Structure 1
Amino acid sequence: MTNLERLKMECEGISLDDNKLIIYLQENELNAIDNYDPSSKTNKKNILKTALSILESIANNVSNMKNYKTDDISISQFSENLNNRIDALDRKIRLIPSDEGFTDGASFIYMFK
């Protein structure tokens, strides 16, 4: 599985052109055609950072933040749900330890946001 395929798996339901996804990957220090290494915490963290970048780009689109209502369907709180997902993903990224780790067994945890 390539990094691009792994990113598509993480962002399932979001349809973006592959060229745009490749740019997002490059901005997060990943090559789209390189093999995804599931044992690498850095690789996973960079995939999640890329997914976070995509979600933040979606959040920047003002037209997505409207509430829509049709005959029997109401689509509301998109902005709130999107921001909740962004916050959860950000928290998840911060909790993933780096591959380098600490030699004395200590770890660093962000206590405040």
Structure 2
Amino acid sequence: MNNLQRLQMETKGIELSQQELIVYLSESGLVPHEPYNASSPSAKKSIYQTALSMLESVGNNPEYMRNVKMDDMTVSEFHESLLNRIDGLEKKIRTMKTDTNQSDFFMLYV
């Protein structure tokens, strides 16, 4: 599985062109057709950050919202669940570790 496929797996139900997905992945520092490294915390965090960027773009696009018709879901219900997903991803990303040994704390007094 490559990074592009992993992103599509994370954002099922949201259809964007492959070119748009490649731009989102590139902005997060991922190479789209490079193999996804599931054992790397940084790779997983980057995928989640890319999905978050993608969902925020969808949430900011009223035209896309009008075109969504899923199982009797209204636009406001879709928007609500989209915002919940964005909030959940933000919390998850904040708590995730990376491959580097950086501390989550900073020294206020030196």
TM-score range, shorter chain: 0.7 to 0.9
The residue number in structure 2 matching 1:88 is 88
Equivalent positions of 1:12-91 (< 5 A) are 12-63=12-63, 64=65, 73=72, 75=74, 76-91=76-91
Q: TM-score, normalised to structure 2's length?
A: 0.81
Query: C-alpha displacement at 1:83, in angstroms?
Result: 1.0
Aligned CA distance change for structure 1 residues 108 and 17 (closer, same or farther; 3 Å): same
Corresponding residue pairs, total:
100
Is 1:108–2:104 an aligned residue pair? yes
Matched residues in 2 for 1:79 and 1:13: separation? Answer: 14
Q: Between the two proteins, what is the percent identity of the paired residues? A: 45
Deviation per CA, 1:80-105: give whole Å up to 9, x if none: 22111101001111111111125xxx
Name structure 1 gaps, 5 residues minimum.
none
**AA matched with 1:77:** E
Larger radius of gyration: 1
**AA matched with 2:104:** F
**AA matched with 2:17:** D
Query: C-alpha displacement at 1:34, in angstroms?
Result: 0.7
Structure with bigger helix share is 2
Matched residues in 2 for 1:74 and 1:20: separation? Answer: 25
Q: TM-score, normalised to structure 1's length?
A: 0.79
